[in-house]
Amino acid sequence: MQNLWDDAVADRLDPVGRLVYRSNLLGQDWRITNTGGGNTSAKLMERDPMTGHTVEVLWVKGSGGDLRTAKREHFASLYQDRLIALQAIYAGLTPRGPKTPAEDAMVDMYRHCTFNLNPRASSIDTPLHSFVPHKHVDHTHPVACIALATAENGPALTREVYGDDVIWVDWQRPGFELGLTLQDVCRRHPNARGVMLGGHGLINWAEDDRACYRLSLELIEKAAAFLAARDKGQAVFEGAKYPSMPAAVREDTLVGLLPWLRGRLGQEQRMIATVEASPSVLEFVNSAAASRLAELGTSCPDHFLRTKIKPLYIDWNPHAESPGDLHKKLDAGIAAYQADYAAYYQACKRSDSPAMRGGSPTVVLIPGLGMIAWGKTKSESRVTAEFYTCAIEVMRGAEAVDTYTALPRQEAFDIEYWALEEAKLQRMPREQELSRRIAIVFGAGSGIGKESAGRLAAEGAVVVAVDLQQEAADQTAREILARVGAGIGVAGTGISGCGDAIGLAADVTDRDAVAAVLRQVVLAYGGLDIVVFTAGLYVAPDAQGRVADGAWMKTFAVNTMGPNIAAEEAAGIWRAQGLAGSMVVTTSVNAVVAKRGSIAYDTSKAAADHVIRELAIELAPLVRVNGVAPATVVAGSAMFPRDRVIASLIKYGIAWSDAETTEALRDKLAAFYSQRTLTRKAITPADQAEAIFLLASDRLAKTTGQIVNVDGGLAEAFRR
């Protein structure tokens, strides 16, 4: 484990800046702590804005946020003396003790301890930091330490590794009582440098921040070295039950499986997948011990809140059994899982427990294929995959030196359905309209396609931007990611490790290329909901007003065969999912307005109108297919290169000069066109994207086979 501390950096920072720096260093390594897991603190002397006196302030990572990416605003600041004073209030409450309402009530009291109006909500781990009487405290979820913390003989192993340096504390739900327990440990063991939190993780302290960081690394390394020296290799999971599959066969099988599985798990609410097939995950799922260990479930509370109490393991022989057998086993496995989950809820629920939440697995383990994690967003499924990867490493360590034990079911339940967890869920912002949806946009490198990709992403969809040019597709994806953020969670094999947008290249007239792109979409996200087809070709006629035969055929290939290929190739995914889908194709008002000069383009768009109608019939009732017919969208359009704009300006007798930029010339032409419409407004890609969003979303859920003009109002293009 690398010591990343750099005095030259740290010494330039103020004390809170140093705490943020230390947190970011710890968060960088997944072996130290998982995404969103752990917290750090510093007790600093500050000037009280009310009294001017110097007071001790606890700066501690607040609720939400992540050590790796945390900034100053993610830390709460609280009067340390007031936090300590809460102990007297707590002592006056009856009944009190672990998991009593009195304990939970203390969480609301933290707000009364806020220093300097800091709005960051305190985490439930606040007393773990406050009641430890040392300046700097790190609490992490290191894989190597959790391995000891979940081993059957954890207390003895902890003593063997650390002697009196680290004291074992039995599993206890984080909160006020655990803070008091730690305070007591510090009193009884004044020389201890940390505590092993049974079933949970590590907490350690020092009087100096650099020393605290170094101690965290030292303690984690000690555990890791202890485990490494006892590593059993493949034998730790009782050896391989199934040999590995070649990567290409694994991918083919996943492409066939994922949409079906997404539909099977997402009948109530759709989910997004992350596939993890690292060597360590494959070794686990292929092993003889996988079914036994998977059934035990995860332990660290951070882990199982995402992975659910246990994953769904399917005992499928990738070499002797068919994908059809796998479907059958998954069907039976999911049903059994849901029944188990309901039984767990019934057995553990208390009189005031929140209602049962969804009972489907979020982690599916399949020999040969690896792990498929599911979440309401791509980010969430990545985090879930990350956490179960951590859990596998925890089991590897625990089983190497001892026997892995999971948290007792009742304890797990009391965390999962804790009123404070429920309140956290209730506080979550409402999901976006297209959250959980997977969209692909053909022609996303420029103009309407680019705008639509951004529009769908802004509504919460994950978006695959496809363009003939890889660089243009990548650029659109990059711009989306810059707006929506990279998200959290470090997991995903190959393209499945992606964020909320990816760019791919394909020629829409090449069926194999379109099929290849859709395979990538399935591997990246698990399925497909929305197809937007805006790729189009306009070939300007020559001086005699003619389009060469080859160009004519190419125009038809892109504008009419293209959307049909996309629909036919996507249909397999839609049908496998069995979830309602939507397709939107851009045509043109030229489809219904006969005029001179663009016969190839106009007739191809007339045909595209009918492609939409026939696809609507073909794909009903599962998928709605509609069209948007723009007119003269000039701004930002790849179909209006400089030559075409100038030709049009000349045709309409509009003054222009070579010195003007292409965009300025386009604006000029757009202004001229707008004057021919009923609304007298220039038509932009954003106007088209709005209509595409409406048709793609559920807002027009009962409209199919229709073409909506977005043309500013052209009487000659009225549809009848």
- Interacting residues toward Zn ion by CB under 5 A: 201
Q: Which is nearer to Zn ion, 217 or 611 (CB)?
A: 217
**Alpha helices (H) in 501-561, listed in sequence order:** 511-525, 549-556
The closest of 472, 477, 482 to 447, measured between CA atoms, is 472
For 28, 123, 441, 566, 694, the CA distances from 530, given in Å and listed in that order, are: 36, 39, 8, 11, 12
CB of 465: closest distance to Zn ion in angstroms?
38
CB of 125: closest distance to Zn ion in angstroms?
6
CB 475 within 8 A of CB 710: no
Q: Which is nearer to Zn ion, 386 or 569 (CB)?
A: 386
What are the contacts of 512-518 at 24+ separation with CB within 8 A? 514/565, 514/566, 514/569, 515/569, 517/440, 517/464, 517/466, 518/440, 518/569, 518/570, 518/573
Helix/strand/coil (H, E, C) string of 188-230? HCCCCCEEEECCCEEEEEECCHHHHHHHHHHHHHHHHHHHHHC
Residue 621: asked if its preceding bond is cis (omega within 30°), the reply is yes
Q: What are the residues whose beta carbons fall under 8 Å from the beta carbon of 355, sequence distance 6 or more?
A: none
Q: What is the DSSP letter of 559?
A: I
Task: State phi, psi for 387 to the nearest 5 degrees.
Answer: -65, -40
Q: Which is nearer to Zn ion, 203 or 366 (CB)?
A: 203
CB of 95: closest distance to Zn ion in angstroms?
26
Q: What are the residues whose beta carbons fall under 8 Å from the beta carbon of 189, sequence distance 6 or more?
A: 164, 167
Q: Which is nearer to Zn ion, 39 or 475 (CB)?
A: 39
CB of 33: closest distance to Zn ion in angstroms?
9
CB of 216: closest distance to Zn ion in angstroms?
13
Q: What is the DSSP letter of 655?
A: -
SS3 content of the chain, % helix, strand, coil (to 5): 50, 15, 35
430 class by beta-carbon count within 10 Å (0-12 exposed, 13-18 middle, 19+ buried): exposed
Q: Which is nearer to Zn ion, 201 or 536 (CB)?
A: 201
Could you give the CA distance from residue 58 to residue 717 in angstroms, rounded to a whole number? 68
Q: Which is nearer to Zn ion, 201 or 361 (CB)?
A: 201
Positive/negative CA dihedral, 436, 441, 445, 447: negative
CB of 139: closest distance to Zn ion in angstroms?
6
For 373, 578, 581, the CA distances from 575, given in Å and listed in that order, are: 22, 5, 9
CB of 217: closest distance to Zn ion in angstroms?
18
Q: Which is nearer to Zn ion, 36 or 503 (CB)?
A: 36
Please identify which residue in the block is written with the tokens 């951004």: 454
CB of 301: closest distance to Zn ion in angstroms?
7
Q: What is the DSSP letter of 590?
A: G
Could you give the CA distance from residue 247 to residue 80 in angstroms, rounded to a whole number? 55
Q: Catalytic: which of 21, 525, 601, 673?
A: 601
Q: Which is nearer to Zn ion, 127 or 370 (CB)?
A: 127
Beta bridge partners of residue 487, listed in sequence order: none
At 378 the three-state DSSP class reads helix
The residue at minimum Cβ distance from Zn ion is 201
CB of 196: closest distance to Zn ion in angstroms?
12
* Tokens linked to 95: 């009944």
CB of 411: closest distance to Zn ion in angstroms?
14
Q: Which is nearer to Zn ion, 201 or 526 (CB)?
A: 201
Q: Which is nearer to Zn ion, 201 or 318 (CB)?
A: 201
At 273 the three-state DSSP class reads strand
The closest of 193, 387, 418 to 299, measured between CA atoms, is 387
Query: In the annotation, is 538 catalytic?
Result: no
Write out the catalytic residue numbers.
601
